[in-house]
């Protein structure tokens, strides 16, 4: 008698009024950044108020998707069962050419990682409603 192992889904972030549009952009395969409608400051992660001028007027700007690795960590002991068979794997902090930094997954071998590694945003569809940001190395 065989026992069927239940499929474990990827954990999905909890959305709120500030982050909903960012995730909707990823679902459309667009990398967005929140932009202050008063002073033009780019804010990531998205929030309710501009930290530069305290304006509550916000909009969104579509980004080029191009950036460089600023820093990274290697996940050796994941906390969620979905990732147990995937470790070790890197998570990167990328400085986008627009000047803000964003955390994402990256499709590369760990030894390839270095400061300033050029990357480009790509999108990994996890379900009909949800996509993750996945960086790819630009060669
Ligand atoms: Zn502002």
Expressed in angstroms and rounded, the spacing between residue 53 Cα and the centre of ligand 1 is 4
CA of 105 to the centre of ligand 1 (A): 29
Indicate the number of domains in the chain: 2
pLDDT digits (tens, 9 = 90+) for 1-32: 566 767 888 888 889 999 999 999 999 999 99
Strands 66-75 and 42-43: unpaired
Which of 30, 39, 38 is CA-nearest to residue 61? Answer: 30
Instruction: Give the Cα separation of 132 and 91 in Å (integer).
Output: 12
Q: What is the mean pLDDT of the chain?
A: 94
Greatest Cα pair distance in the chain: 66
CA 100 to ligand 1 center in whole angstroms: 14
Residue 72 and residue 27 share a domain = no
Q: Are residue 48 and residue 88 in the same domain, yes or no?
A: no
Domain co-membership, 49 together with 117? no
Q: Which domain holds residue 134?
A: 64-139
Same domain for 136 and 72, yes or no, is: yes
Distance 73 CA to ligand 1 centre (A): 31
Q: Identify whether residues 34 and 94 lie together within a single domain.
A: no
Q: Ligand 1 centre from 112 Cα, in Å? A: 37
Q: Are residues 75 and 122 in the same domain?
A: yes
Angle at 122 between CA 116 and CA 125, to 5 degrees: 145
What is the CATH classification number for the domain harbouring 82?
A: 2.40.50
């Amino acid at each position: 008698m065989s026992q069927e192992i239940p499929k474990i889904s990827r954990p999905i972030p909890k959305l709120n009024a500030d982050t909903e549009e960012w995730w909707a952009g990823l679902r459309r395969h667009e990398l967005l950044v929140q932009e202050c409608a008063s002073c033009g400051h780019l804010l990531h992660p998205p929030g309710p108020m501009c930290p530069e001028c305290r304006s509550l007027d916000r909009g969104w700007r579509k980004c080029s998707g191009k950036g460089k690795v600023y820093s990274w960590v290697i996940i050796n002991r994941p906390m969620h069962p979905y990732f147990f068979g995937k470790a070790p794997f890197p998570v990167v902090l990328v400085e986008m050419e627009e000047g803000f930094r964003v955390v994402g997954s990256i499709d590369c071998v760990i030894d390839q990682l270095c400061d300033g590694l050029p990357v480009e945003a790509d999108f990994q569809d996890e379900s009909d409603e949800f996509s993750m940001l996945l960086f790819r190395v630009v060669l």
